[in-house]
Amino acid sequence: MAEIVYPPVIAAARTLFRVLDIRFHMEGTEHVPRTGGAVLVSNHISYLDFIFAGFAALPSKRLVRFMAKQDVFEHRISGPLMRGMHHIPVDRGAGAGSYATALRMLKAGEVVGVFAEATISRSFTVKEIKNGAIRMAQATNVPVIPVALWGGQRLWTKGRPKKLLQRHVPLTILVGEPMHPKRGENVNDHVTDLHTRLSELVDRAQRTYPEVPQGVWWQPAHLGGTAPTPEEAAAMDAAEAEARAKND
């Protein structure tokens, strides 16, 4: 695929983060294969996660094709960029087309990025995850690479004002060891394993973060923050889904 848009977008993001002194800490990037297909699965805490999860693959000189909501592709600014970077639009009412596109890209040796929780976690813990990433890996015989992000929620997340120009924010990116789910193996077992791996990576990212203050909104409740508990967050998500359904 011709890469006219992706490289300059990465260069612009790197320049902005350097100006803002975003303090990246990355571990495990060697787990992203330098060639061949792979499914990169990240936790989801920020509207900027596709940028930071994509950064995990840059040391291996890979570009990640993220599966993202159709709405993002219809936006007058983000739409042309998303299409130019060959990301994959997902229509939640008819997901078969996006799934087929992802399989085709994986078979062609691309890295496909998935946010298996589907929506941003308000609790900043790993929610229940979908099985699509595992099924895609099994169907194409490629590895699953878990990635934990922490810090991006301070810049822009659900229910909070944007602070995109905030300076000196630490940003942690941890890449875990690959999983190798094989065709015919139990999908649910692999989903449980992936959830465990993601949760452990996220917990390590949170506990080793340079700033672990008490009573701040961007810290999970179990570490002394004021973010909703997983149960409270689930109730908020359910209420939001119900309201959306009434408006459709």
pTM, to two decimals: 0.96
pLDDT reported for residue 129? 98
pLDDT reported for residue 17? 98
Q: What backbone phi and psi angles, to 5 degrees, belong to 170?
A: -70, 145
Q: What backbone phi and psi angles, to 5 degrees, belong to 9?
A: -65, -45
CB 119 within 8 A of CB 69: no
Residue numbers in the chain where pLDDT is lower than 70: none
pLDDT reported for residue 56? 98
Element (H, E) at 175: strand 170-175
pLDDT reported for residue 2? 79
What kind of architecture, by CATH, is found in domain 5-214?
Answer: 3-Layer(aba) Sandwich (3.40)
**Residue closest to 152 by CA, chosen among 74, 223, 55, 246:** 55
Q: Can you give the residue ranges of every domain in the chain?
A: 5-214
- What CA–CA distance (Å, rounded) separates 103 from 112? 9
